[in-house]
Structure 1
Amino acid sequence: MTRTPVAGADVCVVGAGPAGTIVADRLAASGHEVVVLDAGPRFDPDDRLRRQERSIRPSFSRPDVWDGDADRDAYTSSGEKGYPLNHARVKGVGGSTLHWQGMVMRLHEDDFNSRSERGVGVDWPIDYADLRPQYAEAERELGVSGASDNPFAPPREEPHPMAAFPPSYSDSLFAEACEELEIAMHSVPNARNSESRNGRSACVGYGTCQPVCPSGAKYDATVHAEAAERRGATVIDRAPVQRLEHGLDSVEAAVYATPDGERHRQEADAFVVACGGVETPRLLLLSESEHYPDGLANSSGLVGKCFMDHLFAGMGGRLGEPTRQNHVGFLTSESHQFYDDADETVGPFKLEFFNYAGPSPVEMALTGDDWGDDLLERLRANYGDHVGVGALVEQLPSEDNYVTLDESRTDDHGNPVPEIHWSLDDRMRRTIERANEIQRSILEELGADITWQVGSENTGPAYHHMGTTRMGTNPDDSVVTPQLRTHDLENCWLAGSSVFPTGGAMNPTLTIAALAIRAAEAIDASL
């Protein structure tokens, strides 16, 4: 394809993940000339079955499934815990929605008012009511299957676009134990089709949702990239933006490289940076100048600061009876019962009842060296009776956790790579311990033999990068306004989870989509 700049562009969007493509689609629908630049390739949808096969073979690591590149994607990690950035990110049109699990919950009302209601963190400059209309639109845009059976969820204005997926067989086993313990279970809203919709099939049960959905039933951002192109937008892949050229109060051009070694300047009236919680601050820091010696849009000094993720707590084992594990590749039941008990000592968390604990028969067959009757005996002995309960746990914003530039190491274009400095706090550890207590009570009530636990000592991230360009009303302690325009530059907006002041404990993509719609409305009004 031609990767030359688009003349007369109204809007240049950097990043073709869910935030960037939703903004692009919305603005193209309003008649604006839009160009989208993405660092990675455009993946051929006909290759998804091949990628699925790759994903289940033990000789391939997870980044191999979506063509990770060690030089292009180089990074460093420091702090208390090493951060495995490349384990769960995709550079390319569609972004990390190409391999996400697809759960889409709204933040709870108290998540927007953490300082006021829980005594920790900060308050958002908007509340749940402000974002409620965009949440409903985001559910329609992504195509969400869900039900209004969660008594702990924030108020809704209308049903989900599609019916929820029914509880799995293992959910029914958990339900018996939870009923005894007076723990409420409810359905999980999923951005995957429970019925055919908008030219995409219903889920056909491949079970490899993470990291690849061959059928296209699970939403990914190529849906909005293609919709934006149908409306006249231009999407340019393999065009990593090297820096944003700017004056004192506005961005003038995005300088990007192409595979043939050329560099181009894409000019536009408005710019949207939507590269995620790591690459967005990195690009701003790479765009330093005499006007902004500490990085573009960084008069507050907070670009890259307050990096957050969700932490995982989990426990599981074997039940000694069939559980039909791995028959469903995503979650169908959760519990938010303990979420709003959060205060300054213990944070919010949600419980997740796994449909995919334990190895699948394919994984077992591909990791052994036995054949015939020996293989069949091993499969019968080790498959089909596993159970597991997980949890997502909030991490509070702290300036001690940050994304910066590592000047000692460069990527394939000679730019300093991102350095992630990441540590854990005591509140998060106490929350994980509380989640483990409840998980243990459920598994013991179920009669399971507990064989593994992920607690505060061996926890890891959910790969939800948030908080590095937070929104606020005061330019001294935030990077963007409540409309997601940078305080420092009149024509530059930031879209994505980097603008979250706090992260709550809900998967962030629905909030990313809702805020992208909010940003698109503000940009449209400004043009």
Structure 2
Amino acid sequence: MSATLGTNNTSDVATDEQDRTPTQQADICVVGAGPAGALIGYQLAKQDLDVVILEAGPEFSDADRLTQQEQHIRPGMSDPWEMGGQRDAYTTTGRGYPLNAARVKGVGGSTLHWQGMVMRLHERDFEMNTRYDVGVDWPIDYADLRSYYQAAESALGVAGAIDNPYAPPRETSYPLPPFPPSHSDSIFAPACETLGIDMHSVPNARNSERYDGRAACQGYGTCKPVCPSGAKYTAESHVQKARAAGARVIDRAPVQELVHDDAGEIINHAVYLTPDGTEYHQSAQRFVLACGGVENARLLLLSQSKQYPDGLANTSGAVGRFFTDHLFAGVGGRLDQPTRQNHVGFNTSECHQFYDDTSPVEGVKLEFLNYAGPSPVNEALTADTWGDELLEQLQTSYGNHIAVGGLIEQLPHASNRITLNDSETDEHGNPVPHIEWSIDDRTSRAIRRANDIQRRILETLGASIEWTVGPDATGPAYHQMGTTRMGTNPNKSVVDADCRSHELSNLWIIGSSVFPTGGAMNPTLTIAALSLRAADAIFATL
């Protein structure tokens, strides 16, 4: 990693010789160096506070991004972000949740491999119980986050246009101009116009022009899982800014538990291990837990004590419960014309038209995919033919695929949860997370509704439909939410409106785990906005 992604300066990359001893007299200890931890670490470090960030995974070098891209596109190559193995073990029941299919333990967290779409939640998302008598209300509303959303868009570098008539109100334009519509967007447009379906641009956390020391998008098309140019935002950017402001970042330092004082009122220290197996205790005045929807809950459950026999900060019993995600719905097929599939590695158009209506209550966000169908690179690398025969094969299989995808809201249920599996342990002997996850009938109906709309679009285009991802075949979007939900009632929630623990006065929990409901919008911008808001709240306590 370097101060400005897209360069080859690796002087700050952590090595095995890194000093991993605790910071003395730390003001703030942040657990996790993903987008939440990186943003809050930087915000507090630049206030001249002594900040230490503990990250379970390694720190990757941006000089290796082209090699990682090659790992991704070559058949049979390994995960470019090193997921898997005993360190990352988990178990699952119910529908089954493929946790390791899309997560990263390392500096940058999920932003290392994310798609980069950044939408604000709608106003209705904060008031689901009041409006529709389902789920719960957030203890804050859209107005409370509005200025922080703007600050988050500037921090991440969002490219977008104000052309979405269904979006919540905003105060200014995006910091970067939007990306132009893809070729396939122009194919979708006439059909959507015929059907009365509105298309509008997608706000993306990738540079449409140079911004914040990072290069403009070079069009590699491999945004997920790796951006070789550094145009797509990763939390590495704010980790480096935090370092420049004086913060320490200790990678490969998995926290084993948080230990409180005798009274059970504050956290005294975080217990972490180093690659050589040494155990250290990091003390601090304030602690921030920012390691994702699964690991936030798991660490609290691992931190049991006499005062908290069911897990730290878990008197409510809500830690680990109400695990939610977004579901994918999609319909795809072929056209008798070129679609230039995979020409762009990210969505440039979407539709929020069916999001705020109330039939069904669950939100539906449509996405016009420009990366449907097989990649010509993968097709060529896995083919058994050569020369003209291979060219003919590629021309037959590539170039005319088209698809409409979408995210579907899942309402929270206490039965969907993260617990500890005492019968299986990780490399440190700790119980692995166990995920119980299923999809209810309401969500299935919302997926069918999305499929109906998607199918009408492709049929209007005259496409031959070849596949449908519906209720029986759907999978998660890997947006883990809800496991340490915020609320005003300490008997029903884990943190308050400022993301501060109801029970431990110096503990804040940040990230999508605090979402009471998840909407159907990609969560990272809301994670960033909540992190900036929590940073202000923490600073106000000093």
TM-score, normalised to structure 2, is 0.96
The structure 2 residue matched to 1:45, chosen from 28, 37, 62, is 62
Where does residue 101 of structure 1 map in the other structure? Answer: 115
CA displacement 1:395-450 (0-9 Å, x = unmatched): 01100100000000000000000000001011100000000000000000011100
Q: Distance in 2 between matches of 1:290 and 1:296?
A: 10
Determine if contact 2:132/2:361 at 8 Å carries over to the other structure. no
Q: Name 1:208's counterpart in structure 2.
A: 222
User: CA–CA distance in 2 between the matches of 1:363 and 1:232?
Assistant: 44
For 1:97, what is the secondary structure of its paired residue? Answer: helix
Matches of residues 8-87 of structure 1 in structure 2 within 5 Å? 8-60=25-77, 64-79=79-94, 81-87=95-101
Stretch deviating more after TM superposition (85-94 or 360-369)? 360-369
Report deviation, 1:119: 2.0
The whole-number CA distance in structure 1 between the counterparts of 2:358 and 2:183 is 31
Aligned: 1:506 with 2:521 = yes
Pair 1:156-2:173 in alignment: no
Partner Cα distance (1:134, 1:342) in 2: 28
The one-letter amino acid paired with 1:41 is P
Q: Structure 2: which amino acid aligns with 1:278?
A: V
Matched, 1:286 2:299: no
Q: Which residue of 1 aligns with 2:336?
A: 320
State yes or no: 1:178 paired with 2:177. no
Match of 2:179 in 1: 165
Q: Deviations over 1:233-263 (max 9, x none)?
A: 0000000000001121000000000001100
The C-alpha deviation readout for 1:201-242, integer Å capped at 9, x for no partner, is 100000000000000000000000000000000000000000
Structure 1 residue 152: Cα displacement: 0.2
Distance in 2 of aligned mates of 1:57 and 1:419: 32
Contact 1:310/1:461 (<8 A) preserved: yes
1:429 aligned residue: 444
Residue identity in the other structure for 2:388: D
Rounded to whole Å, the distance in 1 between the matches of 2:80 and 2:541 is 40
Superposed counterparts of 1:105-120, under 5 Å: 105-120=119-134
- The one-letter amino acid paired with 2:414 is E
- 2:212 alignment partner, one of 198, 203, 206: 198
- Residue 60 of structure 1 deviates from its aligned partner by 2.6
Q: Which residue of 1 aligns with 2:11?
A: none
The SS at the match of 1:341 is: coil
Taking the TM superposition and a 5 Å limit, the aligned residue runs for 1:364-379 are 364-379=379-394
Matched, 1:456 2:471: yes
Separation in 1, partners of 2:480, 2:304: 23
Q: What fraction of aligned residue pairs are identical, expressed as a percent? A: 65
Q: Which residue of 2 aligns with 1:384?
A: 399
Instruction: Name the residue aligned to 1:476.
Output: 491
Residue 277 of structure 1 is matched in structure 2 by 293
The separation in 1 between residues aligned to 2:133 and 2:346, in whole angstroms, is 34
- SS state at 1:339 partner: coil
Q: What amino acid does structure 2 have at the position aligned with 1:310?
A: H
Show the counterpart of 1:147: 161
User: Which digits, 9 at most, give the CA deviation of each residue in 1:353-410, with x for residues without a partner?
Assistant: 0010011210101121111111111001111011000010000110010000000000
Is the 8 Å Cα contact of residues 84 and 100 (structure 2) preserved in structure 1? no
- The answer to whether the Cα contact below 8 Å between 1:191 and 1:219 also exists between their aligned partners in 2 is yes
Alignment of 1:329-340 (within 5 A): 329-340=345-356
AA at the equivalent of 1:431: A
Cα deviation, 1:122-168, whole Å, max 9, x if unaligned, reads: 10010000110100000000000001000000000000000110101
Q: Secondary structure at the match of 2:356?
A: helix
Unaligned runs of 5+ in 1: none
Q: Which residue of 2 aligns with 1:246?
A: 260
CA-to-partner distance for each residue in 1:299-354, whole Å, 9 max, x for gaps? 100000000000000000000110111110000000000100135x4411100000
Equivalence for 2:358: 342
Question: Residue 359 of structure 1 aligns to a residue in which SS?
Answer: coil
Deviation, structure 1 residue 109: 0.3
Q: Tell me the SS of whatever aligns to 2:365.
A: strand
Letter in 2 for 1:460: G
- Which stretches of structure 1, 4 residues or more, deviate above 2 A after TM superposition? none
Partner of 2:279: 263
Native 8 Å contact 1:346 1:428 kept in 2 = no
RMSD after superposition = 0.7
3-state DSSP class of the match of 1:72?
helix
* Contact 2:152 2:525 survives alignment (8 Å): yes
Q: Distance in 1 between matches of 2:98 and 2:147?
A: 35
Taking the aligned partners of 1:118 and 1:182, their CA distance within structure 2 comes to 26
Q: Map residues 306-317 of structure 1 onto 2, 5 A cutoff.
A: 306-317=322-333
Inter-partner Cα distance in structure 2 for 1:224 and 1:73: 25
Whether the 8 Å contact between 1:358 and 1:387 is mirrored in structure 2 is yes
Aligned mates of 2:132, 2:251 — CA distance in 1:
43
Match of 1:221 in 2: 235
| Equivalent residue, structure 2, for 1:304 | 320
Match of 2:167, SS state, is coil
- 2:19 corresponds to: 2
Q: Secondary structure at the match of 2:88?
A: coil
1:466 maps to: 481
Superimposed CA distance per residue, residues 431-474 of structure 1 (whole angstroms, 9 cap, x where no aligned partner):
00000000000000011100010001100000000000000011
Distance in 1, matches of 2:133 and 2:400, equals: 43
Matching residue of 2:506? 491
What is the TM-score of this pair, normalised by structure 1? 0.99
Does residue 353 (structure 1) correspond to residue 372 (structure 2)? The answer is no
The question of whether the paired residues in 1 share the 8 Å contact of 2:152 and 2:529 is answered with: yes
Report the 3-state secondary structure (helix = DSSP H, G, I; strand = E; otherwise coil) of the residue aligned with 1:441: helix
Partners of 1:346 and 1:430 within 8 A in 2: no
> SS of 1:145's equivalent?
coil
The CA deviation string for residues 462-495 of structure 1, in whole angstroms up to 9 with x for no partner, is: 0000000000011001000000000000000000
Gaps of 5+ in 2: 1-17
CA positional deviation for 1:69: 3.4
Q: Distance in 2 between matches of 1:236 and 1:125?
A: 34
> Matched residue of 1:26: which SS?
helix
Q: Measure, in 2, the Cα distance between the counterparts of 1:286 and 1:346.
A: 36
One-letter amino acid of the structure 2 residue matched with residue 93 of structure 1:
V
Aligned length: 523
Distance 2:358 2:399 in 1: 36
| 2:63 maps to amino acid | D
